[in-house]
């Protein structure tokens, strides 16, 4: 017998990232205990929302447009957007608790009410977002999974892209930054068939970052190590 669901009702989804790295500092533990629940977008996980009831975005953000950051790392870019885009509702997804704690420290300093944080798999969030509700999505320096046998673990596969496309409205932008040339290749091969068109007319369109860009610590590391960033923009068709 093939079992394709968890006892909670959730589909079996392989997850290959990390949930926790080195031991959290006491200050980070306090941030998670004190701030994370208040920044929740609502019931996302299958354990708290087995019926997969859609999130009430109107209650969360009013009439603001909704943007997502998928895998926000240490939160540099998301915290920057929280200040630079006060009229946008922001949801960040990141399963790595050390990174979540880093973002919470940044958000505590700027006290922005239009940011929500999902500390888990982005696919669970896609389940409960209304169709065509997202105006922009960012995937910045995702885990490259460099070994060929692990390329199917990358975010830029249909398993992730199809549910993302469902929640993005026509005309919405997906922005991807990576310093791994083979990740660029796979992105250009797999993103368009899932409902997107590449917005590039010349080399500057992938060599130069888009307006409002802030270099993350992952980009700074890439530059120090001699790797070249690529900035890819796609439109949901």
Of 166 and 3, the structure prediction assigns the larger pLDDT to 166
Name 157's bridge partners.
Answer: none
Strand order in the sheet with 115-118: 115-118, 88-93, 65-70, 134-140, 168-178, 230-236, 196-198
Specify whether the backbone of 97 is left (phi greater than 0), alpha (psi in -120 to 50) or beta. Answer: alpha
Task: Say how far apart CA 66 and CA 115 lie, in whole Å.
Answer: 10
Average pLDDT value over all residues in the chain: 91
| Region label for 212, one of left (φ > 0), alpha (ψ between -120 and 50) or beta (otherwise) | left
Residue 51 has pLDDT above 50, yes or no: yes
Measure the CA–CA gap between 12 and 187, rounded to whole angstroms.
Answer: 25
Cβ pair 185, 206 in contact under 8 A: no
Q: Of 35, 65, 143, 182, which one is the catalytic site residue?
A: 143
Does residue 2 carry a pLDDT above 70?
no
The predicted model gives 201-213 an average pLDDT of 95
What are the residues facing 5 on neighbouring strands?
A: 11
Tokens 């944080």: give the residue. Answer: 117
Q: Is 204 an active-site residue?
A: no
Residue 40 confidence class, pLDDT cut points 50, 70, 90? very high
pLDDT category at 121 given cuts 50, 70, 90 is: very high
Q: Tell me if 184 sits within 8 A of 178, measured CB to CB.
A: yes
Task: Look at residue 160 and tell me whether its pLDDT is greater than 60.
Answer: yes
- Cβ neighbours for 215, distance < 8 A, ≥ 6 positions apart: 223
pLDDT at 15: 53
pLDDT, average across residues 35-56: 96
Mean pLDDT of 77-98: 96
Q: Cα(96)–Cα(19) distance, rounded to whole angstroms?
A: 4
Crossing angle, helix 76-84 and helix 97-110, to 10 degrees?
30
């Amino acid at each position: 017998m093939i079992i394709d669901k968890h006892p909670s009702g959730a589909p079996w989804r392989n997850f290959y990232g990390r949930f926790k790295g080195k031991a959290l500092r006491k200050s980070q533990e306090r941030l998670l205990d004190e701030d994370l629940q208040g920044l929740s977008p609502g019931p996302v996980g299958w354990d708290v929302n087995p019926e997969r009831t859609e999130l009430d975005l109107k209650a969360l953000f009013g009439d603001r447009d909704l943007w997502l950051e998928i895998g926000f790392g240490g939160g540099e870019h998301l915290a920057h957007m929280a200040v630079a885009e006060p009229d946008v509702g922001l949801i960040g997804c990141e399963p790595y608790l050390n990174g979540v704690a880093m973002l919470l420290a940044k958000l505590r300093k700027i006290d922005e009410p239009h940011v929500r944080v999902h500390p888990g798999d982005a696919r669970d969030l896609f389940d409960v977002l209304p169709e065509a509700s997202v105006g922009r999505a960012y995937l910045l320096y995702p885990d490259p999974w460099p070994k060929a046998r692990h390329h199917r673990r990358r975010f830029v596969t249909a398993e992730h892209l199809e549910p993302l496309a469902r929640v993005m409205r026509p005309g919405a932008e997906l922005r991807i930054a990576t310093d791994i040339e083979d990740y660029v290749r796979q992105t250009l091969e797999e993103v368009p068939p899932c409902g997107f068109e590449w917005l590039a007319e010349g080399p500057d369109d992938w060599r130069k970052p888009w307006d409002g860009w802030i270099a993350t610590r992952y980009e700074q590391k890439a530059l120090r190590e001699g790797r070249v960033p690529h900035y890819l923009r796609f439109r949901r068709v």
